[in-house]
């Protein structure tokens, strides 16, 4: 789905369902990841109580956010505590979760990252985080020369 189509879809959803948006920023320290993600997941759990308990979506979102934050802090900002990572999370009450993470680094070409499932890349120590994010979320897009990652996950209603 193109970015324009996704924006149009989200604005249609926003008219039908309330959206809660959280914004936050973190200093580029690896130790900031776990406390932030823990709070985010606890907030999400309370917000989406009506969605399935046995759904793995909560765990999948947690892993994808950890990977995106790790990439932004370690690779994007080179763990420079003077640089920040900016996070925006939008939660639609129909179960749509959109997360944007932006770093202050130089960026990268996502097409140049080797596929970690490729036989020749099995021992290469890069690309696994991106692969995990893409496997766990419904959509993952890199923008602004790789300094921005947008992820989306649709939660299922409890039956």
pLDDT score at 8: 57
pLDDT score at 112: 80
How is residue 45 written in tokens? 């759990």
How far apart, in Å, are the Cα atoms of 155 and each of 22, 64, 99?
Answer: 18, 15, 14
C-alpha span between 157 and 107 (Å, rounded): 37
Q: What is the pTM of this model?
A: 0.82
Beta partners for 24? 87
SS (H, E, C) the chain: CCHHHHHHHHHHHHHHCCEEEEEEEEECCHHHHHHHHHHHHHHHHHHCCCECCCCCHHHHHHHHHHHHHHHHHHHHCCCCCCCEEEEEEEEECCCEEEEEEECCCCCCCHHHCCCCCCHHHCCCCCCHHHHHHHHHCCEEEEEHHHCEEEEEEECCECC
How is residue 32 written in tokens? 């900031």
pLDDT score at 103: 98
pLDDT score at 111: 83
**Domain range summary for the chain, segments of one domain joined by +:** 3-153
pLDDT score at 47: 83
**pLDDT one digit per residue (tens) for the chain, 159 residues:** 565 566 556 555 555 678 899 999 999 999 999 999 999 999 998 888 777 665 688 899 999 999 999 999 999 999 999 999 999 999 998 889 999 999 999 998 888 877 766 666 555 566 578 989 999 999 999 999 999 999 999 987 766
Instruction: Please tell me the class of the 3-153 domain.
Output: alpha beta
């Amino acid at each position: 789905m193109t970015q324009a189509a996704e924006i149009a879809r989200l604005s249609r959803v926003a008219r039908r369902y309330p959206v809660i948006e959280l914004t936050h920023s973190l200093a580029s320290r690896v130790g900031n990841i776990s406390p932030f993600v823990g709070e985010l997941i606890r907030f999400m759990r309370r917000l989406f109580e009506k969605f399935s308990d046995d759904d793995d979506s909560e765990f999948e979102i947690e892993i994808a956010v950890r990977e995106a934050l790790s990439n932004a802090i370690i690779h994007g900002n080179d763990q420079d505590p003077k640089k920040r990572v900016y996070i925006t999370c939008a939660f639609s009450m129909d179960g749509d979760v959109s997360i944007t993470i932006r770093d202050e680094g130089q960026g990268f070409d996502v097409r140049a990252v080797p596929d970690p499932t490729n036989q020749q890349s099995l021992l290469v120590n890069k690309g696994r985080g991106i692969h995990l994010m893409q496997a766990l979320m419904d959509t993952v897009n890199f923008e602004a020369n790789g300094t921005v990652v947008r992820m989306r996950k649709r939660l299922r209603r409890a039956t």
